[in-house]
Structure 1
């Protein structure tokens, strides 16, 4: 199906799994979540990936999938043009989930009560990869327009602060932070000239 993009496929699968667990099988959220002690003691490494398929509530799911819808299609097309493979985006997204969860595992591997769910790490990676190619794109935060680069700077600063303070707000700020860093660095590792393109875009603001 030509119209079925990888972005839409990821959104569809994630939404189906999340909605099914939320409304029909909520105990499965526990089984699929990122639980560091289960990974450490029972070698349940699949949790690094499956945690990105389930969400805590509809708002959590909706925010992640809406963000992925707007930025994912752009990055999927951009990666396909640059790397000549549509599956680079899929690898990028999957690694975004897995790698953004590793710092969480290291921090909480002895905490029996800790668990985390959501695709936020991968979604952050997609958003920050978008920053590399379109830093001056206009987005709306609530009702206020701002350049994507400004949002990215404010967001990563706030996320780093909240992660350092370890607020008990139920949000895995570490996954957001490391997902964002991964999104910035991973494309540049394979195509260093992307960094030069990003700097050139920064030097030529377009509103």
Structure 2
């Protein structure tokens, strides 16, 4: 049985996160700490921080989301570039989502020795929004209760993340969500420009009732 790249990434993240949750030194070394990145040149933290999570709930939420949306993007890239090259592009896309989503946070907190962040939120958000561009009318359900077309829920999520990132009134890195999402949109439009036309046509044809 062949494992999809999405499943492999989930397994690697789960193993790394499990080890980090039970090993404080490993967790500390992998965390996204802008202050240490700048002063110790530990640029690998841009990637390693995406493969650890605060706890099992944090891990489950990110990987559960990534599982459902990652397959769409993985299949599209495999169809466009072939299985091998498409798979490589998919891994690059995911890693870039993690890295690029953290750049604004790094610039904002590079002199803040107390700031720490972790989790695959940037890569997950990039994957979700790339899939929304591909399938804008597919429903996304929140907690299995509120279901809305992807383009509507995605728009609301972008607005929410923008303002929460400005307020910074909780411990969540909303900037990573926002910039990860924006990266996912830009990436899929660059890789597959025709998806822009398809997205617009499908959104314009949407009827709520």
Deviation for aligned residue 1:206: 7.5
Deviation for aligned residue 1:49: 0.2
- Separation in 1 of the partners of 2:121 and 2:167? 19
Tell me the equivalent position of 2:147: 145
- Separation in 1 of the partners of 2:19 and 2:74? 27
- Separation in 2 of the partners of 1:55 and 1:177? 19
- Separation in 2 of the partners of 1:205 and 1:173? 29
Following TM superposition, the consecutive aligned residue runs of length 4 or more in structure 1 with deviations greater than 4 angstroms are none
Is residue 111 from structure 1 mapped to residue 112 from structure 2 by the alignment? Answer: yes
Deviation for aligned residue 1:68: 0.5
- Separation in 1 of the partners of 2:191 and 2:2? 28
Deviations 1:158-206 (A, max 9, x none): 0000001111x21111100000000000121233222112112212238
Tell me the equivalent position of 2:30: 32
- Separation in 1 of the partners of 2:77 and 2:203? 20
CA RMSD of aligned residues (A): 1.3
- Separation in 2 of the partners of 1:201 and 1:82? 21
Deviations 1:4-37 (A, max 9, x none): 1100000000001101111x21232111011001
> Are residues 50 and 206 of structure 1, via their aligned partners in 2, closer, same or farther at CA, if it must alter by over 3 Å?
farther
Tell me the equivalent position of 1:102: 103
Q: 1:42 aligns with which of 33, 37, 40?
A: 40
> Are residues 206 and 50 of structure 1, via their aligned partners in 2, closer, same or farther at CA, if it must alter by over 3 Å?
farther
Gaps of 5+ in 2: none
- Separation in 2 of the partners of 1:133 and 1:46? 31
Tell me the equivalent position of 1:175: 176
Alignment partner of 2:127: what SS?
A: helix
Check the 8 A contact 1:75/1:129 in 2, yes or no: yes
Check the 8 A contact 1:96/1:125 in 2, yes or no: yes
Check the 8 A contact 2:19/2:26 in 1, yes or no: no
- Separation in 1 of the partners of 2:46 and 2:134? 28
Gaps of 5+ in 1: none
Q: How does 1:66-145 map to 2 (within 5 A)?
A: 66-84=64-82, 85-142=86-143, 143-145=145-147
- Separation in 2 of the partners of 1:76 and 1:205? 26
Count residues in correspondence: 204
Deviation for aligned residue 1:3: 2.0
Given the two structures, how large is their TM-score scaled by the length of structure 1? 0.94
